[in-house]
Amino acid sequence: MPGLAGRMSTVIKSKISRLLDRAEDPGETLDYGYQKQVELLQNVKKGVADVVTSKKRLQMQTQKYEQQIVKLDTQARQALSQGREDLARAALERKAVIQGELQSLDTQVKELEAQQQALTENEKKLRTKVEAFRTKKEVIKAQYSAAEAQVQISEAAHGVGEQMADVGLAIQRAEDKTEQMKARAGAVEELEAAGTFEDLTALGEGQDDIDRELAQLGAGAQVDDELAKMKAEIGSGGGDAPALGEGKEGA
Amino acid sequence: MIVRISGEGQFKIPDQDGERLNELDNRAVSAVEQGDEAGFRELFHQMLELISADGNALPDDELVESDVIVPPRDISFEEAKGEFTGEGLIPD
C-alpha cells in the first residue's frame, strides 16, 4: 500500500526489523527477545509517566493564565476609574491575548488527556503481549529444536515488536505535543514578564514593542466592547472605589 | 487480513475489504497532496469506519503482525503531510 497506511506500515515495520535484528544468535533469540521486550517495556512505562507529568504541568499553566486574566481585569478597572483609558486598554489587550492562549491550551490539554488514556490502554496491551511471548517461548523451547524455534517465534516476536513500536510512536507524538505547548506557554510568560504589569505606572507614556505586539494581536472589537462595558459599569457605579470590587489583589 | 489502527490496536477484517481500504487510502493521500483537509478527513473517517464496521478486535495476547497499519485516529493534517519517521522510545 503506497498510501498513508503504507507509509505508516513501513515506518513501524522498519522499527520492528531493527528491534529484531539485534538478536543474532538463533539459539539466544528466545531469551534475548524476551529480555529485550521487558527492557523496552520499562522505557514505555517511563514514557507514559512522563506524558502524565507534562500534562499536569500544563494544567498548572492554565490556572496561572486564569489568575492573570483576573488580575488584568482588575487593573483595567482601576485604570479606568482613575481616568486612564490608555492603560485600561493596554490591560484589556493583554487580557485578550492571554484568554486566547488559555482557550487553545485548554483544547490541547483535553487532546492530551485522550492521548494519555489511549497510551495507558496500549501499554497494558503491550504488557499482555510480552507476557504471552514469555509463555510461548517456554513452550517452544520445550518442544522444538533451535532452528525450528526460530521460525516458530518469528511471528510472535513481530507481533510484540509491532505493539512496542506503535506505543513508542504514540508516546513520541504525545511528547511532541507537550513540547509545543510548553514552548507556547513560555512565550506568553516572556511577554508577560517583559511588560511587567505589577505597577500600573510602569506602563508609562510610550508604548514599548510588547505593547505594540499585544495591540496587534489583541486589539479589536473584543477590547473595544469590553472597554465600553467597563466604562458603563464604572459610570453607573459613580465613584472610583467600587471598580476594585472584583479583583482579589488591589494594587 | 489484520489491520492495526495505530494507537488503538489490531483488528481482523475480511480480505475483500483490503481493496476498498487501499482505494480510500490512495484517495486520502491525493487529498493531502492537494491540500484538501476536509476531503482527507472524510476519507480517513471512512477508512476507520470500514475497519470498525467489519473488523473484530484481536485479543491482547495474540501475537501476530499486521498486514496494514493505519495512522492514528487523531492524526493532524500536518502530520498526514509529513512522515512518521520519529525514533520514539525504540532506539534505532
Between A197 and A135, the more confident residue is A135
The percent of residues in chain A predicted with pLDDT above 70, rounded, is: 75
pLDDT at B32: 87
Assess contact for A40 and A143: CB atoms under 8 A.
Answer: no
Measured CA to CA, the distance from residue A12 to residue A28 in angstroms comes to: 24
Q: pLDDT grade, residue A249 (50/70/90)?
A: very low
- Parallel, antiparallel, or unpaired: how do β-strands B56-57 and B9-12 relate? antiparallel
Assess contact for A76 and A68: CB atoms under 8 A.
Answer: no
Chain B residue numbers touching A18 (CB-CB < 8 A)? 90, 92
- Parallel, antiparallel, or unpaired: how do β-strands B68-70 and B2-5 relate? parallel
pLDDT at A194: 55
Determine, for residues B7 and A170 on separate chains, whether the beta-carbon distance falls below 8 Å.
Answer: yes
Average pLDDT, rounded, for chain A: 77
pLDDT mean over A165-185? 83
Min Cα–Cα distance to chain A from B13, Å: 15
A83: alpha, beta or left, given left = phi > 0 and alpha = psi -120 to 50? left
Q: pLDDT grade, residue A44 (50/70/90)?
A: confident
Q: For residue B2, list its beta bridge partners.
A: B12
Q: Alpha helices, DSSP H only, in B1-92? A: 17-33, 37-54, 77-81
Q: For residue B70, list its beta bridge partners.
A: B5
pLDDT mean over A136-161? 81
Determine, for residues A4 and B25 on separate chains, whether the beta-carbon distance falls below 8 Å.
Answer: yes
Q: pLDDT grade, residue A73 (50/70/90)?
A: very high
Min Cα–Cα distance to chain A from B4, Å: 9
Q: Mean pLDDT in each 10-residue stretch from start to end of chain B (92 residues)?
A: 92 92 88 91 94 94 90 86 52 46
Could you give the count of Cα atoms lying within 13 Å of B11 in the half-sphere of its Cβ?
23
Between A57 and A242, the more confident residue is A57
Query: Which of A44, A136, A158 is nearest residue B89 as measured by Cβ atoms?
Result: A44
Determine, for residues A124 and B29 on separate chains, whether the beta-carbon distance falls below 8 Å.
Answer: no
What dihedral do alpha carbons A214, A220, A221, A224 form, nearest 10°? 70
Measured CA to CA, the distance from residue A145 to residue A243 in angstroms comes to: 85
pLDDT mean over A137-166? 82
- Cell (9 digits) for B60: 491482547
pLDDT at B88: 44
Closest residue in B to A165 (Cα) is: B90
pLDDT mean over A35-48? 87
Measured CA to CA, the distance from residue A178 to residue A51 in angstroms comes to: 8
Determine, for residues B89 and A47 on separate chains, whether the beta-carbon distance falls below 8 Å.
Answer: yes
Long-range interactions of A208-215: CB distance < 8 A, separation 24+: A211/A90, A211/A93, A214/A90, A214/A93, A214/A94, A214/A97, A215/A90, A215/A93
Closest residue in A to B27 (Cα) is: A3
Q: For residue B3, list its beta bridge partners.
A: B11, B68
Chain A residue numbers touching B76 (CB-CB < 8 A)? none
Determine, for residues B89 and A132 on separate chains, whether the beta-carbon distance falls below 8 Å.
Answer: no
Rg (CA), chain A: 28
One DSSP character per residue, B12-24 reads E--TTHHHHHHHH
Interface of B with A in 54-83 (CB under 8 A): 60-66, 68-72, 74, 79-80, 83
The percent of residues in chain A predicted with pLDDT above 90, rounded, is: 8
Lowest mean pLDDT across A45-59, A64-78, A121-135, A230-244: A230-244
pLDDT mean over A72-80? 90
What is the ipTM score, two decimals?
Answer: 0.85
Measured CA to CA, the distance from residue A243 to residue A178 in angstroms comes to: 39
Assess contact for A214 and A90: CB atoms under 8 A.
Answer: yes
Determine, for residues A11 and B85 on separate chains, whether the beta-carbon distance falls below 8 Å.
Answer: yes
In angstroms, what CA-CA distances link A190 with A90, A205, A211, A214, A223? 17, 21, 13, 12, 22
Determine, for residues B89 and A12 on separate chains, whether the beta-carbon distance falls below 8 Å.
Answer: no
Min Cα–Cα distance to chain B from A3, Å: 5
Closest residue in A to B48 (Cα) is: A5
Min Cα–Cα distance to chain A from B14, Å: 17
- Cell (9 digits) for A144: 522444538
Instruction: Please report, as a single letter, which amino acid is at residue A145.
Output: S
pLDDT mean over A61-76? 90
In angstroms, what CA-CA distances link A14 with A17, A166, B9, B40, B91? 5, 12, 18, 26, 12
